[in-house]
Structure 1
Amino acid sequence: MTAIISSFLTFTGVVTNMVKSREWSRKTREEVITLHRKGNGYKKIAKMLNIPRDTIGSIIRKFKAKGTVETLPGCGRKKMLTSTAVRYLKRRVEKSPRVTAEELRKDLSDVGTEVSAQTIRRTLRNEGLHARTPRRTPLLSPKNKKSRLQYDKSHVDKPQTFWDSVLWTDETKLELFGPMDQRYVWRRKNMAYEEKNTLPTVKHGGGSIMLWGCFASAGTGKLQRVQGTMNSLQYQEILDDNVMQSVTNLRLGRRWTFQQDNDPKHTSKSTTAWLQIKGWNILEWPSQSPDLNPIENLWWDLKKAVAVRKPKNVTELEAFAHDEWAKIPVDRCKTLVSSYASRLKAVYNCKRMCTKY
Structure 2
Amino acid sequence: MVKSREWSRKTREEVITLHRKGNGYKKIAKMLNLPRETIGSIIRKFKAKGNGYKKIAKMLNIPRETIGSIIRKFKAKGTVETLPGRGRKKMLTSTAVRYLKRRVEKSPRVTAEELRKDLSDVGTEVSAQTIRRTLRNEGLHARSPRRTPLLSPKNKKSRLQYAKSHVDKPQKFWDSVLWTDETKLELIGPMDQRYVWRRKNKAYEEKNTLPAVKHGGGSIMLWGCFASAGTGKLQRVQGTMNSLQYQEILDDNVMQSVTNLRLGRRWTFQQDNDPKHTSKSTRAWLQIKGWNILEWPSQSPDLNPIENLWWDLKKAVAVRKPKNVTELEAFAHDEWAKIPVDRCKTLVSSYASRLKAVITVKGCCTKIECHLGVE
Same fold (TM over 0.5): yes
- Give ranges in structure 1 of 5+ residues lacking alignment: 1-17
What is the CA–CA distance in structure 2 between the aligned matches of 1:20 and 1:180, rounded to whole Å?
A: 75
What is the CA–CA distance in structure 1 between the aligned matches of 2:2 and 2:243, rounded to whole Å?
A: 80
SS state of the match for residue 235, structure 2? strand
* Structure 1 position 32, deviation (Å): 18
Deviations 1:218-271 (A, max 9, x none): 111111111100111111111111111111111111111000001111111111
- Give ranges in structure 2 of 5+ residues lacking alignment: 24-51, 368-375
What is the CA–CA distance in structure 2 between the aligned matches of 1:125 and 1:20, rounded to whole Å?
A: 54
> Which moved further from structure 2: 160-169 or 247-256?
247-256
Deviations 1:152-186 (A, max 9, x none): 22211100111111110000011111011132101
For residues 112 and 280 of structure 1, do their structure 2 counterparts lie closer, same or farther at Cα, with a shift above 3 Å needed?
same
Q: 1:32 — aligned with what?
A: 15
SS state of the match for residue 248, structure 1? helix
What is the CA–CA distance in structure 1 between the aligned matches of 2:8 and 2:235, rounded to whole Å?
A: 70
SS state of the match for residue 27, structure 1? coil
For residues 66 and 339 of structure 1, do their structure 2 counterparts lie closer, same or farther at Cα, with a shift above 3 Å needed?
farther
Deviations 1:264-289 (A, max 9, x none): 11111111111111111100001111
What is the CA–CA distance in structure 2 between the aligned matches of 1:315 and 1:25, rounded to whole Å?
A: 92
* Structure 1 position 63, deviation (Å): 7.4
1:182-193 matches, within 5 Å, as 182-193=193-204
Q: 1:311 — aligned with what?
A: 322
Displacement over 4 Å in runs of 4+: 18-73
Deviations 1:53-109 (A, max 9, x none): 999998898778767787754422211100000010011111111100000001001
What is the CA–CA distance in structure 1 between the aligned matches of 2:202 and 2:148, rounded to whole Å?
A: 36
For residues 282 and 66 of structure 1, do their structure 2 counterparts lie closer, same or farther at Cα, with a shift above 3 Å needed?
same
What is the CA–CA distance in structure 2 between the aligned matches of 1:122 and 1:229, rounded to whole Å?
A: 50
What is the CA–CA distance in structure 2 between the aligned matches of 1:109 and 1:210, rounded to whole Å?
A: 54
SS state of the match for residue 191, structure 2? helix
Deviations 1:280-322 (A, max 9, x none): 1100001111111111111111111111222111111111111
Q: Is the 8 A contact 2:4 2:61 kept in 1?
A: no
What is the CA–CA distance in structure 2 between the aligned matches of 1:193 and 1:244, rounded to whole Å?
A: 52
What is the CA–CA distance in structure 2 between the aligned matches of 1:309 and 1:260, rounded to whole Å?
A: 30
For residues 39 and 222 of structure 1, do their structure 2 counterparts lie closer, same or farther at Cα, with a shift above 3 Å needed?
closer
What is the CA–CA distance in structure 1 between the aligned matches of 2:22 and 2:121, rounded to whole Å?
A: 62
> Which moved further from structure 2: 137-146 or 111-120?
137-146
> Which moved further from structure 2: 24-33 or 288-297?
24-33
What is the CA–CA distance in structure 2 between the aligned matches of 1:106 and 1:348, rounded to whole Å?
A: 39
Q: Is the 8 A contact 1:36 1:45 kept in 2?
A: no
The structure having more radius of gyration, on CA atoms, is: 2
Deviations 1:11-57 (A, max 9, x none): xxxxxxx9999999999999999999999999999999999999999
For residues 190 and 354 of structure 1, do their structure 2 counterparts lie closer, same or farther at Cα, with a shift above 3 Å needed?
same
Q: Is the 8 A contact 1:32 1:45 kept in 2?
A: no
What is the CA–CA distance in structure 1 between the aligned matches of 2:312 and 2:3, rounded to whole Å?
A: 55
For residues 77 and 269 of structure 1, do their structure 2 counterparts lie closer, same or farther at Cα, with a shift above 3 Å needed?
same
For residues 182 and 42 of structure 1, do their structure 2 counterparts lie closer, same or farther at Cα, with a shift above 3 Å needed?
farther
For residues 244 and 79 of structure 1, do their structure 2 counterparts lie closer, same or farther at Cα, with a shift above 3 Å needed?
same
SS state of the match for residue 168, structure 1? strand
SS state of the match for residue 222, structure 1? strand
* Structure 1 position 142, deviation (Å): 2.2
Q: Is the 8 A contact 2:12 2:63 kept in 1?
A: no
Which of 221, 228, 233 is 2:239 aligned to? 228
Q: Is the 8 A contact 1:32 1:59 kept in 2?
A: no
Q: Is the 8 A contact 2:187 2:322 kept in 1?
A: yes
Q: Is the 8 A contact 1:35 1:45 kept in 2?
A: no
Q: Is the 8 A contact 1:174 1:303 kept in 2?
A: yes
For residues 55 and 127 of structure 1, do their structure 2 counterparts lie closer, same or farther at Cα, with a shift above 3 Å needed?
farther
Number of equivalenced pairs: 339
Percent of aligned pairs with the same amino acid: 96
> Which moved further from structure 2: 182-191 or 78-87?
182-191
Q: 2:80 — aligned with what?
A: 69
Q: Is the 8 A contact 2:16 2:66 kept in 1?
A: no
State yes or no: 1:287 paired with 2:298: yes
For residues 302 and 59 of structure 1, do their structure 2 counterparts lie closer, same or farther at Cα, with a shift above 3 Å needed?
farther
> Which moved further from structure 2: 79-88 or 307-316?
307-316
For residues 55 and 214 of structure 1, do their structure 2 counterparts lie closer, same or farther at Cα, with a shift above 3 Å needed?
farther
What is the CA–CA distance in structure 2 between the aligned matches of 1:149 and 1:307, rounded to whole Å?
A: 35
